[in-house]
């Protein structure tokens, strides 16, 4: 049976966020061992490239989450993916991308991350993104706000604001996934700057106010976006930001979305 918050040891708390952050940093350290030693790349069919670093991070994160609360299922990009029927009764579950931005990892630009999120009733309620090569960690939780930590410095709160009507926008965009759809979209809004960055760090740029909007006009999987979505949602100053993303869909696949321009 899936645990509920009232009986689960995984509370929505700063202590849980710190524990998740430590786990993400441990997994990140494992990815760096492969990053510095050289990258061997394999293909996962139509799901893109995978490296030994992806598997190393998965092997650290999943057992740790299962030990924390065996009643909360874990979906990891590098693990077996349960079908919709198996997931139908899930209220809480983990979504894990052990190494997001594998192309950035392969290109050695440092813009890859470890992503962990807890989903509850279809929305992310805890989320951590750790960029090991950048020594940068973002985290957020329901009622806890969003936070950024540089190296071993104390974590600091981060905030985002909806841009004013007609304001020229700083657009966070994928470094490795250009598209004709994106080029068409940027013609429809005033643009102050285009900020290319890899992995889920695009969510973080909006959450910390370094960018105003993140359009992703192509499919993503739920584990790609859950942690970043959590950090974005809880970066609002007076109330959570609104997100179109939902979780535990039949195929765990998201349609196109734009974050940052909600009413």
Residue 45: pLDDT band (50, 70, 90) is low
Residue 36: pLDDT band (50, 70, 90) is confident
Which residues are within 8 A (CB) of 114 and not within 5 positions of it... i.e. 6 or more apart?
24, 27, 28, 31, 57, 61, 97, 98, 99, 100, 128, 129, 130, 132
**Percent of the chain scored above 90 by pLDDT?**
84
Residue 186: pLDDT band (50, 70, 90) is very high
Give me the CATH code for the 14-158 domain, please.
Answer: 3.30.540.10
Q: 149: closest CA among 132, 161, 163?
A: 132
For residue 156, what are its two tokens?
């600091």
Give the pLDDT confidence score for residue 1 in this predicted structure: 32
Residue 42: pLDDT band (50, 70, 90) is low
Which residues are within 8 A (CB) of 149 and not within 5 positions of it... i.e. 6 or more apart?
21, 136, 137, 138, 139, 155, 156
Q: What is the mean pLDDT of residues 127-132?
A: 98
Q: What is the mean pLDDT of residues 236-257?
A: 96
Instruction: Report the distance separating Cα 53 and Cα 103, nearest Å.
Output: 12
Q: How many CB atoms lie within 10 A of CB 37?
A: 10
For residue 141, what are its two tokens?
């939780």
Common-topology check for domains 14-158 and 169-259: no
Give the pLDDT confidence score for residue 103 in this predicted structure: 87
pLDDT at 118 over 60: yes
Span of 31-45, 153-167, 174-188, 228-242 with lowest mean pLDDT: 31-45
Which CATH code of 3.40.190.80, 2.130.10.30, 3.50.50.60, 3.20.20.70 fits the domain covering 169-259? 3.40.190.80
Residue 2: pLDDT band (50, 70, 90) is very low
pLDDT at 5 over 80: no
Is there a contact between 219 and 254 (Cβ–Cβ < 8 Å)? yes
pLDDT at 44 over 70: no
pLDDT at 7 over 80: no
Give the pLDDT confidence score for residue 37 in this predicted structure: 79
Residue 263: pLDDT band (50, 70, 90) is confident
The domains of the chain are located at: 14-158, 169-259
Query: pTM of the predicted model, to two decimals?
Result: 0.94
Q: Are strands 214-216 and 257-259 parallel, antiparallel or unpaired?
A: antiparallel
pLDDT tens across 173-183, in order? 998 878 899 99
Q: What is the mean pLDDT of residues 29-41?
A: 82
Which residues are within 8 A (CB) of 168 and not within 5 positions of it... i.e. 6 or more apart?
190, 191, 192
């Amino acid at each position: 049976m899936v645990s509920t918050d009232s009986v689960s040891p995984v509370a929505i708390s700063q202590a849980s966020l710190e524990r998740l952050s430590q786990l993400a940093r441990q997994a990140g350290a494992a990815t760096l061992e492969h990053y510095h030693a050289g990258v061997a790349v394999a293909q996962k069919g139509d799901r893109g490239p995978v490296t030994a670093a992806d598997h190393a991070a998965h092997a650290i994160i999943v057992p740790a989450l299962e030990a924390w609360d065996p009643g909360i299922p874990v979906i990891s990009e590098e693990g077996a993916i349960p079908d919709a029927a198996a997931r139908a009764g899930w209220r809480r579950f983990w979504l894990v991308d052990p190494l997001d931005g594998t192309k950035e990892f392969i290109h050695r630009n440092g813009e890859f991350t470890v992503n962990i999120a807890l989903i509850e009733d279809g929305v992310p309620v805890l989320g951590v993104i750790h960029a090991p090569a950048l020594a940068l960690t973002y985290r957020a939780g329901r009622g806890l706000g969003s936070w950024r930590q540089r190296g071993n410095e104390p974590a600091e709160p981060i905030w985002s604001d909806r841009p004013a009507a007609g304001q020229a926008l700083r657009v966070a965009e994928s470094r490795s996934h250009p598209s004709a759809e994106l080029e068409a979209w940027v013609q429809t809004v005033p643009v102050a700057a285009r900020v290319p960055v890899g992995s889920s760090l695009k969510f973080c740029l909006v959450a910390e106010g370094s960018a105003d909007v993140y359009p992703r006009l192509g499919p993503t999987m739920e584990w790609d976006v859950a942690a970043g979505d959590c950090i974005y949602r809880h970066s609002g100053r007076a109330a959570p930001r609104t997100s179109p993303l939902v979780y535990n869909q039949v195929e765990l696949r998201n349609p196109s979305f734009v974050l940052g321009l909600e009413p």
